[in-house]
């Protein structure tokens, strides 16, 4: 009965029954931009804003706020084009029984574009989320600022950015990109803790392919410029990739179980966990005999944590460091691990940024940190130096130094140079440091060290090469082991790989009531 063009104040209500009026208004709101646009959304492999909310939250838990809100714009015929809800579905519900706030942009309504009122609806749920200490999840699918509204929609974005920043470190904020996200609109997700992108149907960029072509003469598709893969592998903007909407929403439901509701709480404890005991012996065989050969640190991680509990973050970005959530006896921890299988686990600009961001999330939200260390040092070269490895490497150092959550380090093999200090050493506040018998803890590798400190002896020897080898062996004998560090208390214990899980469990139990506060400050000045 209701023509979609005649809603809101002009709506012709034939049925005088007040309840029926409400039912009709709800229907109109639920229909968004109408059947045709919904069909187009489905044809593109995308769900509608409402379908997404329903799948994200526990069945029947969604409570909508603001479904009759309409925009107030009049220019360019907008006064004749009002859809209740104004292109964003907002409200609250639960995920696994825990309170969650949500907004979901409706592309069928003016391309999900952000108007003054659309922004106000998002701000309202953000404010409620902060006041009530619960995570907020944004499902983004929008053509950006509502062009017909001009500056008020820009101000609306700024209202959201401001709240994203103020809420940072107070409640977890997750962004799922399920359609376009262009221009300044990208900065709201960028300010949140995690970004998840859906393959093929989502993209993020500050300027699209047309502008890129005009300005830089580069020809690039939306997907190559700002698709899920590009941001997962190249820029690191995207933390998680999903192959479709349903998978994305499932992944978010799972991810949120690793996080507390807010900065004053701990992550929930699932009551049940499983651990395959045979992993206690498998772990002995992960490292290769030859200490110069690579291995996958994730195999070590898997042997220490609860079965199937690892959720890798930034899986495809800066693979030389592995970060992610895991559980130990059902409790959430954050894992940071050098990855010898990629660039020998060296620290470079991207891996430092990746590690630092994750460490800061965990510290903000009371998630203990478990670090696995096998790092030959920082990556040398003009590219790294000129792009600022000094500043970026300092981010990881800073993040560990300021973290007050329980922190345990396990050195599996190499711990060389400045990278030893950076990777959660005790001097920068780690609570417990363990080393495996295979650990090598020194200022640098034996070959380079011998070359420097025995330079004259090597040069003056009858056979310099033989002398070098002899001195290299001497240095290695001295430092390529964990015992010099253990003698000085720089590592707390040398442990067998098979003992790692038990040591880590006991360590985190001992640290359960750790209470450490930072000196009073407005905020620190992390080297950005
Ligand atoms: C108003 C918009 C809109 C917008 C799309 N629509 N974007 N309406 N403001 N920003 C409307 C279209 O008119 C159309 O309406 C419907 O949404 C669907 O759009 P289509 O173009 O048909 O869809 P599609 O082909 O899938 O293309 C999607 C798109 C394209 C790539 C997003 O619409 C597009 O380029 N839009 C403009 C993007 C843009 O430049 N936004 C401003 C960015 S600047 P009908 O009625 O036909 O269904 C910005 C600044 C933010 O956002 C700054 C913050 C600091």
**Would you state the pLDDT for residue 7?**
54
What is the rounded average pLDDT of the residues 149-175? Answer: 97
Cβ–ligand 1 distance for 71 under 6 Å, the answer no
Residue 319: both structure tokens together: 């693979």
Catalytic residue, chosen from 208, 330, 418, 448, is 418
Tens digits of residue pLDDT in 50-99: 999 999 999 999 999 999 999 999 989 899 899 999 999 999 999 999 99
Tens digits of residue pLDDT in 122-137: 999 999 999 999 999 9
Average pLDDT, the chain: 95
Catalytic, 419? Answer yes
CA distance 267 to 159: 29
Whether pLDDT at 400 is above 70: yes
Burial of 513 (0-12, 13-18, 19+ CB in 10 A): exposed
Cβ–ligand 1 distance for 156 under 6 Å, the answer no
**Lowest-confidence region among 5-9, 12-16, 30-34, 184-188:** 5-9
Ligand 1 atom having least distance to the Cα of 145:
52
Catalytic residue, chosen from 183, 227, 445, 507, is 183
Catalytic, 183? Answer yes
What is the rounded average pLDDT of the residues 151-176? Answer: 97
Nearest CA to ligand 1 atom 28: 143
Catalytic residue, chosen from 419, 430, 439, 446, is 419
Tens digits of residue pLDDT in 501-511: 999 999 999 99
Angle made by CA atoms 131, 514, 495, in degrees to the nearest 5? 130
The secondary structure of residue 267, as a DSSP letter, is P
CB atoms within 10 A of CB 417: 18
Nearest CA to ligand 1 atom 13: 110
Cβ–ligand 1 distance for 205 under 6 Å, the answer no
Is residue 308 left, alpha or beta, with left meaning phi > 0 and alpha meaning psi from -120 to 50?
A: left
Tens digits of residue pLDDT in 325-343: 999 999 999 999 999 999 9
CA distance 341 to 275: 25
When pLDDT is cut at 50, 70 and 90, the band that residue 153 belongs to is very high
Whether pLDDT at 274 is above 60: yes
Whether pLDDT at 14 is above 60: no
Catalytic residue, chosen from 8, 34, 169, 184, is 184
Place of tokens 């010898």: 340
Q: Give the predicted TM-score (pTM) of the model.
A: 0.94
What is the rounded average pLDDT of the residues 176-187? Answer: 93
Ligand 1: centre distance to CA 276 (Å)? 52
**Would you state the pLDDT for residue 369?**
98
């Amino acid at each position: 009965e209701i023509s979609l063009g005649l809603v809101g104040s002009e709506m012709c209500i034939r049925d005088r029954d007040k309840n029926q009026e409400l039912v009709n208004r709800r229907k109109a709101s639920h229909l968004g931009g109408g059947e045709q646009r919904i069909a187009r959304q489905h044809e593109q492999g995308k769900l509608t804003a409402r379908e997404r909310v329903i799948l994200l939250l526990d069945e029947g838990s969604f409570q909508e706020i603001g479904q009759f809100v309409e925009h107030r714009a009049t220019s360019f015929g907008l006064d004749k084009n009002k859809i209740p809800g104004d292109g964003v579905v907002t409200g609250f519900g639960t995920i696994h029984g825990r309170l969650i706030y949500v907004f979901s942009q409706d592309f069928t309504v003016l391309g999900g574009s952000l108007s003054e009122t659309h922004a106000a609806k998002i701000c309202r749920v953000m404010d409620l989320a902060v006041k009530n200490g619960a995570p907020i999840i944004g499902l983004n699918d929008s053509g950006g600022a509502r062009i017909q509204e001009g500056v008020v929609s820009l101000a609306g974005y700024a209202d959201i950015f401001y709240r994203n920043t103020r809420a940072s470190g107070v409640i977890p904020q997750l962004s799922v990109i399920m359609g376009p996200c262009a221009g300044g609109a990208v900065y709201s997700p960028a300010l949140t803790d995690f970004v998840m992108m859906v393959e093929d149907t989502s993209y993020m960029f500050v300027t699209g392919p047309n502008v890129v072509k005009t300005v830089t003469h580069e020809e690039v598709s939306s997907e190559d410029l700002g698709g899920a893969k590009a941001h997962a592998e190249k820029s690191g903007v995207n933390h998680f990739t999903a192959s479709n909407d349903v998978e994305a929403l499932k992944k978010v439901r799972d991810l949120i179980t690793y996080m507390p509701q807010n900065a004053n709480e701990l992550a929930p404890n699932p009551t049940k966990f499983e651990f395959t005991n045979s992993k206690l012996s498998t772990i002995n065989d992960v490292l290769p005999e030859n200490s110069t050969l690579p291995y996958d640190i994730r195999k070590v991680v898997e042997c220490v944590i609860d079965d199937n509990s690892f959720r890798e973050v930034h899986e495809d970005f800066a693979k030389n460091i592995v970060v992610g959530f895991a559980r130990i006896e059902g409790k959430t921890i954050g894992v940071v691990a050098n990855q010898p299988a990629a660039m020998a686990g060296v620290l470079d600009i991207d891996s430092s940024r990746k590690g630092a961001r994750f460490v800061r999330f965990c510290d903000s939200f009371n998630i203990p940190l478990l670090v696995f260390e096998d790092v030959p040092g920082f990556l040398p070269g003009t590219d790294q130096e000129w792009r600022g490895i000094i500043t970026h490497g300092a981010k990881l150092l800073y993040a560990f130094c300021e973290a007050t959550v329980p922190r345990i380090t396990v050195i599996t093999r190499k711990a060389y140079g400045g990278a030893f200090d950076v990777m959660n050493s005790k001097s920068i506040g780690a609570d417990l440091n363990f080393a495996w018998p295979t650990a090598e803890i020194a200022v640098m590798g034996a070959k380079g060290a011998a070359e420097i400190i025995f330079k004259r002896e090597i040069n003056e020897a009858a056979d310099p090469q033989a002398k070098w080898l002899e001195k290299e062996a001497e240095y290695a004998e001295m430092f390529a082991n964990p015992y010099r560090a253990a003698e000085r208390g720089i590592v707390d214990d040398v442990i067998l790989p098979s003992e790692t899980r038990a040591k880590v469990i006991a360590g985190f139990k001992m640290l359960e009531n750790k209470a450490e506060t930072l000196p009073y400050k407005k905020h620190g000045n992390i080297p950005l």
